Amino acid sequence: MRNIEKTACDTGLLPVRPSGNRSWRTLLFLSLSCVTASAAFVAVEFGGRITGSDMGFRAGARVIGYFTYESARPSGPQTSSRPNFVFEIPEDQFRFERTSYNFWVYNNWMPPGEMVLQDALGLEFSYPSGYGFLSLGSSNTSLFTNNLLPLTIPAVEQFDAGRTLYVILDQVQPYRATRVQIDRLSVVPGSGLGQPVIFGVERTAGSVSFRFLTEPSTRYAVQVTGNLRAMNWMTLTNIGPTMEPVVIINDAELVLEQRFYRIEKTPE
């Protein structure tokens, strides 16, 4: 891998193996204008499998999603002008999103009817035809030191078996629910820490995809070049102000032996 001088906003070098016998490609992700989240903004990705559903979703179907929150706020309402809680069931092309919910952290909490202290975090939301919640509890009472929202969230393995997301449609009759067992939970690197937040790099046959966090009312240019010294950057795509806190970029035109990417904010 070649040595390249890093900028203050560089997120580092990442090699991705191409198809066939071609050499390694090197991807360089730059954030020229320091694409960062505010110090109190935290984004969390999660994934899981449906364990049962009265809403027509297949048991075992994959669920992916994320939620964001402002750790500077006390436990309680989290409200945004854009979706800050999203989950999808890809095989059904189903998407659910909310712009507000209650997010809470319990430290040394004793659930009703229990005799054992727990640390727990939860997220509860409502929508016109129902309600739901995401619930993670642990008998390990050292996960949280207070009831303030954390800048990071423990790995999913540190929570007890009841790692669940419930979505409930309650129209009195009938009562229907979808239950998801969460098996993946991670804080987006850099969110809440004032660092560049490009993440989720995936390599598939003939393409590379990655994600980054956006800021409200901000435009971005995703650019690419095959030669850093030439500095001949081409625009892969432009991202206008978006309601999505997370943007997915997919590049299917991998025709160069090496490929470098950068993301910069563009003027309004």
Domain boundaries, the chain: 10-36+196-266, 41-187
**∠ at Cα 103 (39, 40), nearest 5°?**
5
Distance (Å, rounded) from C-alpha 48 to C-alpha 89?
10
Q: What is the mean pLDDT of residues 208-213?
A: 77
Q: Give strand pairing partners of 14.
A: 27
Q: Give strand pairing partners of 221.
A: 238, 264
Distance (Å, rounded) from C-alpha 165 to C-alpha 215?
27
| Residue 171 in this model has a pLDDT that exceeds 90 | no
Q: What is the mean pLDDT of residues 95-111?
A: 89
| Residue 67 in this model has a pLDDT that exceeds 80 | yes
Q: Give strand pairing partners of 30.
A: 10, 262
How much is the mean pLDDT over the chain?
77
- The CA-atom distances, in angstroms, between 224 and each of 1, 137, 228, 257 are 18, 44, 10, 13
Q: What is the mean pLDDT of residues 11-19?
A: 39
- Neighbour count for residue 129 (Cβ, 10 Å): 9
Distance (Å, rounded) from C-alpha 32 to C-alpha 189?
18
- pLDDT at position 19, please? 42
Residues 212, 199 contacting (CB under 8 angstroms): yes
Using only C-alpha atoms, the chain has a radius of gyration, in whole angstroms, of 21
Q: What is the mean pLDDT of residues 220-243?
A: 82
51: confidence class by pLDDT, cuts 50, 70, 90: very high
| Residue 241 in this model has a pLDDT that exceeds 70 | yes
| CATH architecture of the region 10-36+196-266 | Sandwich (2.60)
- The CA-atom distances, in angstroms, between 227 and each of 2, 126, 252, 264 are 12, 50, 18, 18
| Residue 78 in this model has a pLDDT that exceeds 80 | yes
Residues 30, 262 contacting (CB under 8 angstroms): yes
Residues 264, 232 contacting (CB under 8 angstroms): no
Specify the DSSP class assigned to residue 205: T
- Torsion over CA: 209, 210, 213, 217 (sign): negative
- Which position has the higher pLDDT, 25 or 66? 66
- pLDDT at position 253, please? 65
Q: Model-level pTM?
A: 0.69
- Which position has the higher pLDDT, 160 or 262? 160
- pLDDT at position 55, please? 92
Q: What is the mean pLDDT of residues 176-191?
A: 87
- pLDDT at position 262, please? 82
Q: Give strand pairing partners of 165.
A: 134, 180
